[in-house]
Amino acid sequence: MQRITKNPISLLPALVLWVSLSLFSACQPEQPSREPEVLPADHYFTLQLAGQPIAVQLALTEGEQTRGLMHRPSLQANHGMLFVFPETDRRAFWMRNTSIPLDLAYIDPTGRVLEVHALFPYDERAVPSRSNNVSLVLEMARGWFKKNQLGPGDQINCLEIQEAIQSRGFDPKNFALTRE
């Protein structure tokens, strides 16, 4: 039987290829291990309204805004929903399929509360804003604004809202908020 031996020089091309690939992959910029985390629609963000901390879910898409707080049995203390719109306009809200008594604040692009209205469970009559400069709407449990002595003229922190929008994976520039 004849023994076959490889000439070491015949292995040279394979060795050069292996070294080249190793060096090439070492020169590639390191890729991040994962994409930045995008928070879901049901995440609560802590914001400040006139120094009062509130925990709100953001309603950013048309679907989220249509659903709002429908079909929820309750709302925790100091929790609510903030609707953020891409443009200022006159707004109107109703309570279809919503069993929780709510207060609603219409807010301008600078974060200033313009007006507060009481909403009644299952009432499908629209409650319109008087102003056509509304870009934010905050829904909280009935009596929350009165209990916390908050109302027209009070300010919500727009910078915190912009950060929350970004955490949801949206560009804050696509919403009608004053950039500060």
At residue 33, the pLDDT reads 47
Residues of the domain holding 81: 45-174
pTM: 0.79
Total domains present in the chain = 1
How many CB atoms sit inside 10 A of residue 28's CB? 7
At residue 178, the pLDDT reads 85
| pLDDT averages per 10-residue partition of the chain, 180 residues | 55 58 54 64 95 97 95 95 98 97 98 98 98 98 98 97 96 88
For residue 95, being part of any structural domain is answered with: yes
- The residues pairing with 138 across neighbouring beta strands, listed in sequence order, are 82, 105
For residue 180, being part of any structural domain is answered with: no
For residue 138, being part of any structural domain is answered with: yes
Q: In what order do the strands lie in the sheet with 79-89?
A: 45-49, 52-59, 79-89, 134-141, 102-107, 113-119
- Contact in structure between 174 and 86 (CB atoms under 8 Å): yes
Which of 133, 154, 124, 162 has the alpha carbon at shortest distance from 45? 162
For residue 11, being part of any structural domain is answered with: no
CATH number (domain holding residue 119):
2.60.120.1140
